[in-house]
Structures are given as C-alpha cells and as structure tokens.
Amino acid sequence: AFVVLENCIKCKYTDCVEVCPVDCFYEGPNFLVIHPDECIDCALCEPECPAEAILSEDEIPADQIDFIELNAELAEVWPNITEQKDPLPEADEQNGVPGKREALER
C-alpha cells in the first residue's frame, strides 16, 4: 500500500483524494491517511501531493516507518474523504517544516 507521511500534517492539500480510483483516503483534523487494505497500489496519488508526503510502503524512510501503522490505525476511525477541499490555511508555510508529527491531531 501507499502511505501518507509526516509532511502532510498541517498542510492537508487533498490533491491526492481527487485522483484515487478506490477512494481509500480518510480524514482527520490536520492529516489524511490511506487505508492499507483498500489501496490498490496504482501510484496515482504520489506525484499529486504538493508536499511530497506520499510514498509506497517499501520506500518509507526509516525515521517514518511508524507511519505505516499509523495510517492503518487511523483509517479505521476517521471518516472517508472522496473530494478535494481547500488546504489548511497554513499549508504553504508548514510545507517542509520538520518535526510536525508532534502536531498530529486525532
């Protein structure tokens, strides 16, 4: 499956949602996740993310390996999102800022 990583936090551009053929994105307050059992590995979302926050699970950097489990966990509790919406107001300022995982809201 593909996985949403730390740099989505506080950005949530949602360009990814628009291209997913199986609608497997789930939305929290300031982050999205992909449901690993629903993702068909089409790779369409990866180049769409302005924050470059989506990678295949076999390409995740070691320091973000826990995001595999985090996506699986939160996809079970957050609501499905199927249409693009406006990014968070601070998205462009927050794109690329390190250490955003502390700011993840559930």
Is residue 72 a contact point for ligand SF4 (CB under 6 A)? no
- Residue from 3, 20, 24, 53 in contact with ligand F3S (CB under 6 A): 53
Residue 12 binds which entry of ligand SF4, ligand F3S, none, with Cβ cut-offs from 5 to 8 Å by kind? ligand F3S
C-alpha span between 34 and 76 (Å, rounded): 10
Is residue 24 a contact point for ligand SF4 (CB under 6 A)? yes
Closest to 106 in 3D by CA, of 3, 9, 2: 9
C-alpha span between 7 and 5 (Å, rounded): 6
The residue type found at 80 is: N
Is residue 43 a contact point for ligand SF4 (CB under 6 A)? yes
Token pair 């470059």 is found at 52
- Which residues bind to ligand F3S, rule: CB under 6 A? 4, 8, 11-16, 32, 49, 51, 53-54
